[in-house]
């Protein structure tokens, strides 16, 4: 199986480099974007296996990017993890309402983030495998044959009347 592709979107170049190096050391293919609009564009081009997304960014917030990804049929299935300094419960709730699978607050442990990414990827692959196994088969299904009801003592269906 080829390495998983992670799209990392953050406007802080230090965080972007930190994430890139850590994911590459763990065998991921990394695609980078420096703001929300670029992140959305890259997600649509690359169709990564997972998106790690900051919330507060220029041009488009992480919330706007997540909403756009969820509304696009080509990207709606891609798991998203927010990595952000916004730690208020209302911020977390807003992310979850948008369909974001996980929320990590800065500062964060890169190894913990990688564990979360791996767990989400495993769940995502399992869900896709389940969906594929539920696809209808192309084998023909035998139609049941209806037997005519037995004739009632010498009367046929046309001559029978309700009493």
For residue 80, the domain's CATH number is: 3.40.50.2300
Name which of 78, 64, 71, 70 is nearest 31 in CA terms: 78
Q: What is the pLDDT of residue 135?
A: 54
Find the mean pLDDT for residues 58-80. Answer: 94
Domain count, the chain: 1
Tell me the backbone φ, ψ of residue 75, rounded to 5 degrees: -120, -5
Give the full edge-to-edge strand order of the sheet including 5-9. Answer: 29-33, 5-9, 50-53, 80-84, 102-105
Alpha-carbon span 115 to 94, nearest angstrom: 23
pTM reported for the whole predicted model: 0.77
Beta strands in 5-75, from DSSP E residues, in sequence order: 5-9, 29-33, 50-53
3-state SS assignment for residue 51:
strand
Alpha-carbon span 74 to 78, nearest angstrom: 9
Query: Is position 156 within any domain?
Result: no
Query: Is position 107 within any domain?
Result: yes
Query: Is position 140 within any domain?
Result: no
Alpha-carbon span 84 to 102, nearest angstrom: 11
For 13, the token pair is 């170049």
Query: Is position 108 within any domain?
Result: yes
Query: Is position 121 within any domain?
Result: yes
Query: Is position 79 within any domain?
Result: yes
Residues of the domain holding 28: 5-133
Query: Is position 148 within any domain?
Result: no
Give the confidence band of 134 by pLDDT, cuts at 50, 70, 90.
low
Tell me the backbone φ, ψ of residue 125, rounded to 5 degrees: -65, -40
Query: Is position 15 within any domain?
Result: yes
Find the mean pLDDT for residues 55-83. Answer: 94
CA 64 to chain centre: 16
CB 30 within 8 A of CB 20: yes
Give the confidence band of 144 by pLDDT, cuts at 50, 70, 90.
very low
CB 35 within 8 A of CB 11: yes
Q: What is the pLDDT of residues 146-156, one digit of tens each?
A: 555 555 444 44
């Amino acid at each position: 199986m080829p390495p998983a592709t992670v799209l990392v979107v953050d406007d802080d170049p230090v965080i972007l480099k930190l994430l890139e190096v850590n994911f590459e050391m763990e065998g991921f293919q990394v695609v980078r974007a420096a703001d929300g609009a670029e992140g959305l564009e890259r997600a649509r081009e690359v169709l990564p296996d997972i998106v790690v997304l900051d919330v507060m960014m220029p041009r488009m917030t992480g919330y706007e990017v997540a909403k756009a990804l969820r509304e696009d049929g080509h990207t709606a299935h891609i798991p998203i993890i927010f990595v952000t300094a916004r730690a208020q419960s209302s911020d977390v709730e807003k992310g979850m309402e948008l369909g974001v699978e996980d929320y990590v607050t800065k500062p964060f442990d890169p190894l913990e983030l990688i564990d979360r990414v791996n767990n989400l990827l495993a769940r995502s692959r399992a869900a896709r495998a389940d969906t594929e196994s539920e696809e209808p088969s192309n084998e023909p299904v035998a139609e049941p044959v209806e037997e005519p009801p037995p004739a009632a003592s010498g009367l046929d269906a046309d001559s029978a009347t309700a009493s």
